[in-house]
Every structure is written in C-alpha cells, then in structure tokens.
Structure 1
C-alpha cells in the first residue's frame, strides 16, 4: 500500500478523537462528497416518491428512501477512501466507480442486516477490502473488538440528529405561520388537514426527511470510516510502518549523496542521481486497502492464506489434561471497561428491532385504515344542529332579532355573551350566504377565510370586524367600548353582516 501518500496523520487515537477525525475529513472534502451524494440519491428519491404516488401509497416513498440508506452510503465511502490519499474524485467518477465495489454486502445491508447498528464500521471492511465471506467474518471478529459500543452509539447519535433536524423544520414552519392559520390542536390537524391533503403532506414529510438524511448520513459514513482507519492503525501498526518507510526514503537519499562523494566518475554519479521510477498511481480503493500490492505483501498474503486453511485456525478444540484438585489458578485481570458499552450496544440493537417491528405494525394498520375507515366520510350533523364556534355562552337557537338581543345583553353588563351571540349570528349568516353546510368544528380562522369569499367588501369588512372583536374578547379579555359595539350592530337588520 502507498501509505506515503495518505493525507491524514496515522497514529492510534481514542474513539472519540477518531470520530472527530471523520468529521474533519468530511469538512475537507464536503464538495466532492455532497455532489456525489445528490447525484446518486436525488434520482432515486424522485423515483421512489413517484412510485408511491402512482400506487396510491404516498408513504411508500418515505419508507423506501429510508430503507435504501445502505445503498446511498456507497457514494460517500468511495469519495472518502480516495480523498485520504489526496485524490478526491468527482461525482461522475464516483458513479462509475460503483461498479468496482462489491454488491453482495449491499444486498445483505438492504435485507437481513438492515437494522445492524454497526453498519458504519462494517461498510469499509466489506466494500474496500473485498475479502471472501469466511475470511471477512474472521476479520470482522477482530475489527469489531473494542468498537461495538462506539459503533452503536454513533448509529443512535446520528439517528437522533436526523430526527432533530426533521422536527426542527416543522416547528420552524409552525412558528412562522400566522395565528389564524394555525390549527387549534394537533388532533384536529391530523384528523382534518392531513386527511384532506394526505399526499401533499406525505411528500413534504418525505422531502424534509431526505434533506435531514442528506446532512447526517455522509457524516455517519465518515465517522465510521475514521473508526475503521484507527482500528487498522492499531492492529497493523500503520504509523510504525509509515515511519520506517520515511526512514528508508531518507536513507536512500543519503546513500545517493554518499555515492556521489565516493564515486568520482561522472557517469556513475549521474547514474546514482537518477531517481527511482515512481510507482503506478492508485486507481481504485481496492488497490489501497486490499492485499497484496507488492512482493512483500504477496508473501504475507500467501502466508495468511495458508494460516486460514490450517484446520487448527478458528473453530473449537477440546483439550484434556490433569490438574491439581485444590490448586488455585492465578487470577487474570478482567478488563471491565468495555462491558457497559457492550451491554449498551446489545440493548440498542434490541430497541432497534422493536422500533422496526412497531413501524411495520403501524404502517400495516395505517394502510388498513387508509383503505377502509379513513376514506369514509364523517356523518353530517343533524339538521336541527347549529354551528358550534367555540362559543358556549349562546343559546342553542338564535333569536329572531340578533342585534336587539346582543344590545340587551350588553346593557345588562353581559358583554362576553353579547359578543358571542353576535359572532355566532355573523357566522351563521356567512354560511347561509355562501350556502355552506353546518361545520361543528369551524374556527375563527375558517370564518375569516369564508368572509373574504363573500364578494362584497362592506360585508367582508363588517364580518371581519365582528370576528376580530370576538377574538380579542374571548382570548385576551379586551372588550370594545359602547361606540365600537354600536358600529358592529349597525346595518345588521339590513343584512349587511
């Protein structure tokens, strides 16, 4: 391997420091990583959502995009594996380079390993080394040692960051909405607004989730790749190997100088000063991380293959020997530092499986409700029912003279009831003029929108004034004076309101 060309400092690091290294690698190659990411994932995102819309299941696009994360991770890993050797590829080269990476591990990641919390650490081993399955399993047992807790915490931490970004967009949109456009409660929002425009809301949720995924997933891959590099540095002493290679290069340069001093002949000196031919550039990540690449590596690979073929390697062996009955064996120090992280990793994996089962059950229930119960229209209210406008101070039936009854209540110092009666009468008159059905759940914002559709500026202005006055009184305790109240009553009998 051409470790001399590596652009990161190779030394054993703590796991948290290795995660910081992954974030630094991503920042240094942000343009190459995200250009390849969007070039690879954006068409897939559009196709998945289009398929969901065509099938009448808009939530299917959101589910498919989330499920295809192991496929999307191939792009950032390819870019970063090149970038550590000072050769960050462009997005076209990244797309063409996917053919050189194996597809078997990706198929496994999309099926029985989809909820594996160690995916970030497993990806470089499976895609870059390209070892056979049995040898890869043996290497994974060694590579994952001491890192299962960190890999699981990385998965869950990135999942939480993605969820925070997803919810933050919706909360920001909610805060920017005007007061009259906000839903009364989340229950009414999901019961009526989301149900009325299910496809649009689902596509919006899918787009927001894709953007959150686009921010976090490359960071997840970069941190996992940094953990992989750090672990291989610990196992294979890459830092020591690199130091010896640099020392050899310096000694070779010193030898050339000594040859120049000892050999007085110009041809010999010129021959000694001739630089050694450069090695061929690294073209694929497999040439960087796979063995062998030179004669020494070939010998090592042959010896390793012979060890793997040895029946004594791996497996279980039963050994029988005699020992003293009452002898006490020397106690070996037990390293319990990683035990909590291993336990936490197992708990996280169990929780991930439970979450997956819950999501599948919820989707099945939603699909059943979508086909059956949710498409049924709600029964219309009884014919004798009146509009309920969050007003409980008015009688069930409106009086014939609404203005006179409201004036009587106002003079009796029952101002809230007077404004409630006037507001209710205004709402019912708007419904009659627009020929709207009785809506038990209509709010003040709904009637403001209906008032704007009256087509008469005078009636719209008077209805808006009545609704706003009722809002100030009901929610802020601000009541109009006598003159303002009489202006609300003006023109009522003439049908202006």
Structure 2
C-alpha cells in the first residue's frame, strides 16, 4: 500500500471535522475538479436541453440533469481520490479514465438507488474498493452504521443549499428589472406566460440557474462524502497507526543502511550481500487502487481467511454506548482536596457556594418571567381592551396616487398656468398629472383605478395607439415623478410645451 504518499493528516475525526477536510481538499484541487466537471457535464447538459426542446417538454431539461447526477459524481471523486495521494490528474486523463472504472454500480445508482440519501458515502466504497456483492453488503453495514444520519443530513443540507442559490439568483434577476416592466397581478403574469418570447427566455434562465447551482454544490457534496469515507476507514483500519509504524520502519531501514555502509568500509562483504538481498526482496510499490481494495492483499491467503472470519463475527463493527443521567445539586459541596495552601480550600468553598446561589437566582428569575407571561396571557384572554390607536394619516406629499384628490377643471391649461404663476408649482404639476391620466383613461375606455400609481400609468400609456400621445403622457408622468419625489421642476418653456396639446387640451381623436 502507498499510505506514505497520502497528502492529508490521517487521524480519527468527528463527522463535521471530516466534512470540513473534504471542503479543504476540494479547495486545494478546485481547478482540476471543476475543469473536469465542466468538460464532462456541460455537453451532457446541453444535450438534455436540446432533447427537452425538441420534445416540447421543458420540465425534462430539469429532470434529466437531476437524474444523471450519480453519473456526474464520478468526476470529482476520481480527481479527489488521486489528488489525496498527490497525483491530481488533468481533465483529459479524468475523462479517459472513466471507461476503466466500473459502470455496474453507476447503473444501479441511476435506477433503484437513485433516491438513496447516502449516495455520497456509498459512492467511494463501490467505485474504489471493487469488492464482490456479498462482501460489499457486509462492508456497507460496517461503514454506514454510525454515518447513516450524517450522510442523509449532508444530502438534505446540500439540497437546501442548492435551492437557496437557485432562488437567490432568480430573485436577484427579478430585482434588477424596473418596476414598471413587472406584471401588475397574477392575471398579467398568466398573460405574460402566453407570450412565446417571454416563456422561452424564462425557461433558458431557469435551466442556466439550475446548472450553475448544481455545478457549485455537487462537487462539495462528493468531497464531503469522500472525506467521511476516508475518516471511517481510518477509524476501522487504524490507518494512522499503520502509517506511524511504516515511518518507524523506514527510519530503522535507513539506520540499517548506515550500519551496512559502515560494515562495508571496515570490510564486511557478507553483511553487504545480505543487505543487497534484502533490497532485492523489497516489494515494488503498488498502485492507488490497492489502497482502497479489500482485502489489502488478495495473494495473502491467510489474511483473506482471517478477514472472512472477522466479517462473519457478529461482534465485528459494533459499538456500545452507555449513558445515564446524574442529578447535579449545586448545594452539594464536596470537601476540597488536601492542599498545603489553607486559603485555597476556603476559596473553593466560597466559590461553590457563590455558584450555587447564582444558579438558584437564575432559576428564580426564570420562574418569575414564566409567571409574568402566564399572567399577561390570562389577562389578555379575558378581554382586557387596549385603547384604540388611530392610524396616522398618510402625508399628502407621499401619496402615490393623486388622481381622485379634486375634480379637474374644464380649462385645464389655464388652471395649471395660474397655479404656476402664483409659485405653487407642485400643485400645478399635480393638477396636470390628474387631468392627464383621467383623460388618458377616457381615451383607453377604462375606469381610472383608485389605487393606480405612476408606474401603473406608465404601463397603461403603452396601450395608446397614437405614438405621439403615448410619448406625451409618459413625459407628463415622469415630470410629476421628478417633482413629487425629487423636487426637480421643469422650466416655463417646458410647461408651455406640456400644455400645448393633448392630454392637457381636449382634442377630438
């Protein structure tokens, strides 16, 4: 085995520590992982989208990539399993090596094991060990016994993380759109979906966001599962102890070589010949697959027989945890240990007494808070009425719609000019805005909505058939917005231009 070449510190870790190790391994070899990932998955993803487009079923563009994820998981696992031994392959070597890896278990993962929540832990065992079916089941029972909940939790966490990324990207895209271009209601949304251009653009955006979020999360998922697998193998097979003995053996061999050289110098050729024979008998280094393969050496019949006996032993791989509760009493002051310093014992007694009193005080405070909450709830349920608070009237300057504030005079341009000459510019523009949108509603043959805002009238203006009228109404609404919300008023010439035609003046269509 080549445990000496492993690039991570082998030691038993907790499950969170092991998953964090997987993330660290992925960051260290991110370039190799994601280059191979995109080179393998992107063509397949585009082929799935083309198939969904030809069949006229956009939902296939989401279902097929999701179903093929066990196939995609082979890529990051291959890179990390080689990179952990400081042999990170290129993306071309990764793609070529996929033909040599077993496909039977991948087909199983794509069929009856597709909804297995322990795929991240099962994947390295099936692809790296390559054992028979009967022994694989026994191996899985041993490996997964303490990690089933952890692996399932990792799966659901990654699903939630991926959904968060997808929804965040979609919300960000909607947030960047101007408010007047968004649908006003669900009815308008349904009408927008009937437009082919809008529907096709939305489908491609959803496909792209789904692939991007999958490409971010899936390698993290595989790396965390691979690190859990390595940690479990370290716990079961004591790889850290094995590695320590190998290093000790190497130091002893180096010391032995030094002694052989010294013997050669003083003229002991027999010892030198023995050392040469020992060097010739040294086994050649094995490949990476033999590190993960079970049993460690198929040629060792004794080891294989003993390993089979251990597998059959019902006590193999079992763990027993005993837990019991002990009531902790703060007033039970244990006598201090004998000490040469007499002041230390008294300090310990006072410290324990103070901590006990503080603990009792906190419990009393908690009881008082709970009692106060119960009293408040009882009084509230009995119908103790609180004085009604009238909602504050919305300031006139911040109202979003001023269409129904006052009736519009018949001679709208004269009324607007009179207010403008008196210096009441805001009132003049408000009157112009009210009159314009009311006459636009008449032109559109609609009842002016009581809660319509400036953005609503900008959308309604696009329904006018006359381009000149459409532009004039948009300019009037924009002018009122700048005055109402930014205190930016037009000049006298601009006012005269706005009052020179429709909708300020009623013109027969």
Same fold (TM over 0.5): yes
In structure 2, what is the equivalent of residue 446 of structure 1? 459
Deviation digits for residues 34-85 of structure 1, max 9, x if unmatched? Answer: 0111111101110111111111111211121122211111110111111111
Residues 194 and 201 in structure 1, CA contact (< 8 A), matched pair in contact too: no
In the alignment, the residues of structure 2 paired with residue 296 and residue 244 of structure 1 have an alpha-carbon distance, to the nearest angstrom, of 22
More moved, 75-84 vs 87-96: 87-96
In the alignment, the residues of structure 2 paired with residue 477 and residue 406 of structure 1 have an alpha-carbon distance, to the nearest angstrom, of 24
In structure 2, what is the equivalent of residue 124 of structure 1? 124
Q: CA deviation at 1:171?
A: 2.4
Q: CA deviation at 1:424?
A: 4.5
Is 2:410 the partner of 1:404?
Answer: yes
In the alignment, the residues of structure 1 paired with residue 236 and residue 324 of structure 2 have an alpha-carbon distance, to the nearest angstrom, of 21
Aligned pairs (5 A) from 1:177-256? 177-184=177-184, 187=186, 190-196=189-195, 197-256=198-257
In structure 2, what is the equivalent of residue 265 of structure 1? 267
Residues 158 and 217 in structure 2, CA contact (< 8 A), matched pair in contact too: yes
In structure 2, relative to structure 1, the CA distance for the partners of 1:299 and 1:247 (3 Å cut) is same
In the alignment, the residues of structure 1 paired with residue 34 and residue 104 of structure 2 have an alpha-carbon distance, to the nearest angstrom, of 25
Return the TM-score normalized by structure 2: 0.69
Task: Give the number of equivalent residue pairs.
Answer: 410
Aligned pairs (5 A) from 1:372-451? 393=404, 404=410, 406=412, 419-426=433-440, 443-447=456-460
In structure 2, what is the equivalent of residue 287 of structure 1? 290
Deviation digits for residues 113-150 of structure 1, max 9, x if unmatched? Answer: 22222211111111111222222222112111222222
The partner residue of 1:491 within 489, 501, 507 is 501
In the alignment, the residues of structure 1 paired with residue 26 and residue 166 of structure 2 have an alpha-carbon distance, to the nearest angstrom, of 21
More moved, 254-263 vs 55-64: 254-263
Structure 1 unaligned regions, length at least 5: 315-331, 338-389
In structure 2, relative to structure 1, the CA distance for the partners of 1:427 and 1:90 (3 Å cut) is farther
Deviation digits for residues 386-414 of structure 1, max 9, x if unmatched? Answer: xxxx997499xxx9xx9936559979989
In structure 2, relative to structure 1, the CA distance for the partners of 1:307 and 1:334 (3 Å cut) is closer
Return the TM-score normalized by structure 1: 0.70
Q: CA deviation at 1:252?
A: 1.4
Aligned pairs (5 A) from 1:71-220? 71-184=71-184, 187=186, 190-196=189-195, 197-220=198-221
In structure 2, what is the equivalent of residue 300 of structure 1? 303
In structure 2, relative to structure 1, the CA distance for the partners of 1:295 and 1:42 (3 Å cut) is closer
More moved, 248-257 vs 48-57: 248-257
In structure 2, relative to structure 1, the CA distance for the partners of 1:438 and 1:414 (3 Å cut) is closer
CA-based RMSD: 4.1
Q: CA deviation at 1:295?
A: 6.8
In the alignment, the residues of structure 2 paired with residue 296 and residue 151 of structure 1 have an alpha-carbon distance, to the nearest angstrom, of 34
Q: CA deviation at 1:224?
A: 0.6
